[in-house]
Structure formats: C-alpha cells, structure tokens
C-alpha cells in the first residue's frame, strides 16, 4: 500500500508537541443504549476543532523549501481548510483555501481567521475541488488534497496509534467522507490488533463508501450530495485511501440526517460534547447496529465539532420534537378579548411552558371574527403531550398538529 505503519510512526514524530492526544471518554448512557463498552474519541476537542490538523500539519512539515516557496492550494468543506490554514501560517507558507459557497459561515470565518486566503467557488465540495485544481495550475502552487495523499493519511493514522495505546478495541467506528481518516486508522489498528473490526459510517446523502465497497473500486456517486454532515459530503472515495479500505475495512453503515441529528443531540445533552454532523456520524452508526456490538469494546471516533450554530438550532428543534420535548400545534378560536389568555391559562394548568406563540387574525382560511393561534410548548415527553391534548379537548379546543 502507498501508506505504511512506518509512515504513521514518522508522522507521529512530526506531530509531537503540536497535536495533543485526545482521551477516551466513557458514558453509562451510551453503554446502556448500545449494550457495549463504548469509548468516545473526542477529536472535536483537537486543535482547530477536528482531527484534520493531524494530516494537514504532517503534510506541511514534510514539504521541501522549494515547495514552501510555491505556496499551497486546497479544497475544503471546512475542517481541512482550517487545519491547513493553521499549519501553513505556522510554517510561514502562503495558502489559498477554496471552499464551496454553501460552506458553514463559522468554518469560513475560522479558516480566514487562521491567517490565510479563502476563495468561495461552487455549490459543493466537488465544484470547489475543480476550482482549486484550476487555481493551483494558475499559481504554480502545490495542491494538498484533503484525503487522497499519503502524508495526509499517515497524519490521520496517528489517531489510530493513540487508540491502540489507550485500549484493546473489538470495534472501531469511523466516519467516512473521502476515506483518509479511516484508511489511516485501519492501518494503525490492524498493526496492533489484527482481529479488531474497523467499520466505516457514511451519510446517506453522500454514500460513496458503500458504493466503492460494492464495486471494489474507489467510486463517485452520480447525484448531488445532500447531508447535514458536510465534512463527509465529498461525493467520492480517494484512490489512495481505498487501497487500505478495501484490504482492512469490513463494512459500511449508512445513516440518514435524522439519525445523525439525534446523535449530535445525544452527545450534547448526555456528554456535554458538541459535535458537528460528520463528527456525530460514527455514534449514529453504532446506535444503528447496536445489536451487533453487544458485549464488545467499541471505540467511536468523534471527528470534529465545528458546527454552524443555525444548523445546531435546527437539529435541537427536530430532536426535541421527536423526543416529545417540544409540541407544535394550532388552534382556531374566537377573536375577542380574554380568549387568548383563557387558552394560555389552560396550557399552564396542564404544566406546559410556552416556547413560541403566533396569533394570526388575517388568514383567508379561517372565518372573519376568528384567529389562528400557533404554539410551540416545552413538554416533558410523549405522555405529557397526550395529557395536554386531552386536557385541551376537554375544554372544547380542537388541536391541529
């Protein structure tokens, strides 16, 4: 293979004093939900907010002086760009990061904040990649791929060495976009524990891993990517990562955006860990195949925490609604004094708190002299919602969800 365990060891020496080893964290909640010993590897706590600093710094540190003078160009949905911007600034190298126009605002700002130039091109990672390659030729700069590069993969593989030194895993769950992280981890883990399973978890909106395994070749999906896990939305698996993936990775697990969102919320509420969509994907996969993991020691890699706050707000809203912690509904009522206060008094007597309320008396689909009240209540769970619905019905209110 293009990347050896020796390459990962060399990367670790370069990263000494730069990358802080992240701990393995435990959660009795996750142990109970999955029926296994679950160990979380929180790379969201890493410098620049993700594991990407490992590969980016290793790549920059290995550059020749001639290459450094040329400068570097990269394409990124966010985390690779932030890491490369930080590493290039530290090394005194000029970098241009091409990001899609749809990239999270926080990731764009952070990438610029590390001291390098950001160019916004295209609507997704693949379009940004094409623009970056063209810009690279124009500038005569060195192109640094986010995952299809032996030095990048070797840097990411240092995470696998850390895991091997911290525990004896039966299974390691890894989020997969272009494949650089899982390739590096698989090489390192299999060196120490040949019988351990390394399982890739992909987003349903960008399922290039399962497609590549099915075809036994690095493949690209033939439709637009669409997932809240923007860090995984590459649309293709890299050729170099697939050398290791095809030999060392047993299978892929596919999770949708709702499953990813639930994992984000679960970690935030139960472990006080903020993960981005890509970062929570491996946990979503572990929850999905919990029956296969029972009784095992399972390491879950949380790859990053650079989430857009607006997206986080939507994830929290969806998650709370599914758990019965938010109840959204509408009621049509007479538009006259005290009617609204009566409704709110009934809601309060049922033990619910009003989160948002909208009172509309001008809708064309309700009679003149009536108003529609749309409410969102903070509730304690499905049983509480049933109690509220029953209580309002007993007071002759018709609840429309």
Tokens of 343: 């409704």
246: annotated active-site residue: no
| Structural Rg of the chain based on CA atoms | 24
Burial readout 110-131 (b: 16 or more C-beta within 10 A, e: otherwise): bbbebebebeebbebbbbbbeb
Strand 142-143 with 72-75, pairing:
parallel
- Please check whether residue 15 is in contact with residue 54, taking contact to mean a CB–CB distance below 8 angstroms: yes
Question: How many whole angstroms separate alpha carbon 132 and alpha carbon 134?
Answer: 5
Contacting residues for 129 by C-beta, under 8 A, at least 6 apart? 75, 98
Q: Which of 27, 41, 50, 52 is catalytic?
A: 52
Contacting residues for 87 by C-beta, under 8 A, at least 6 apart? 53, 56, 57, 59, 60, 61
303: annotated active-site residue: yes
Instruction: Count CB atoms within 10 A of the CB of residue 51.
Output: 33
* Residues facing residue 326 across a β-bridge: 378
CB-count exposure of residue 209 (10 Å: 0-12, 13-18, 19+): buried
CB-count exposure of residue 33 (10 Å: 0-12, 13-18, 19+): middle
* Full 3-state SS string of 155-197: HHHHHHHHHHHHCCCCEEEEECCCCHHHHHHHHHHHHHCCCCE
Q: Which of 27, 50, 212, 303 is catalytic?
A: 303
Contacting residues for 354 by C-beta, under 8 A, at least 6 apart? 344, 347, 375, 376, 377, 378
Answer positive or negative: Cα dihedral of 329, 335, 341, 343: negative
Which position has the token pair 């593989």?
Answer: 157
The closest of 196, 213, 135, 125 to 160, measured between CA atoms, is 196
Dmax (CA) for the chain in angstroms is 79
> Where in the sequence numbering do the catalytic residues fall?
52, 303
């Amino acid at each position: 293979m293009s990347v050896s365990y020796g390459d990962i060891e060399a990367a670790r020496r370069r990263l000494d004093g730069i990358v802080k080893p992240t701990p393995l964290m435990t959660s009795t909640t996750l142990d109970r939900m999955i029926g296994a010993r679950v160990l979380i590897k929180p790379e969201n706590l890493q410098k620049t907010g993700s594991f990407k600093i490992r590969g980016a710094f290793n790549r920059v540190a290995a550059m020749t002086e001639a290459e450094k003078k040329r400068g570097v160009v990269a394409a990124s949905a966010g985390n690779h760009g932030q890491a490369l911007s930080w590493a290039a600034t530290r090394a005194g190298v000029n970098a241009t990061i091409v990001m899609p126009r749809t990239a999270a605002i926080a990731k764009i700002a952070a990438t610029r904040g590390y001291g390098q130039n950001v160019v916004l091109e295209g609507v997704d990672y693949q379009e940004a990649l094409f623009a970056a390659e063209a810009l690279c030729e124009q500038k005569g700069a060195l192109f640094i791929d986010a995952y299809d590069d032996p030095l990048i993969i070797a840097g990411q593989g240092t995470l696998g060495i850390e895991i091997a030194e911290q525990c004896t895993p039966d299974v390691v769950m890894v989020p997969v976009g272009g494949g650089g992280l899982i390739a590096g981890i698989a090489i390192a883990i299999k060196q120490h524990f040949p019988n351990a399973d390394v399982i890739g978890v992909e987003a349903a909106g960008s399922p290039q891993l399962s497609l590549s395994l099915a075809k036994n070749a690095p493949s690209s999906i033939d439709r637009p990517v669409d997932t809240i896990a923007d860090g995984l939305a590459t649309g293709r698996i890299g050729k170099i990562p697939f050398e290791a993936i095809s030999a060392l990775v047993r299978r892929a697990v596919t999770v949708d955006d709702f499953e990813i969102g639930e994992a984000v919320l679960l970690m935030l509420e139960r472990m006080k860990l903020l993960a981005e969509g890509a970062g929570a994907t491996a946990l979503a996969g572990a929850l999905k195949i919990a029956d296969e993991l029972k009784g095992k020691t399972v390491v879950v890699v949380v790859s990053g925490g650079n989430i857009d706050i607006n997206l986080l707000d939507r994830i929290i809203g969806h998650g709370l609604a599914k758990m019965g912690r938010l109840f959204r509904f509408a009621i049509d009522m007479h538009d006259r004094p005290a009617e609204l206060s009566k409704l709110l008094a009934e809601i309060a007597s049922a033990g619910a708190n009003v989160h948002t309320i909208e009172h509309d008396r001008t809708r064309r689909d309700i009679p003149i002299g009536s108003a529609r009240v749309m409410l969102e209540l903070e509730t304690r769970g499905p049983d509480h919602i049933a109690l509220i619905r029953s209580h309002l019905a007993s007071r002759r209110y018709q609840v429309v969800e």
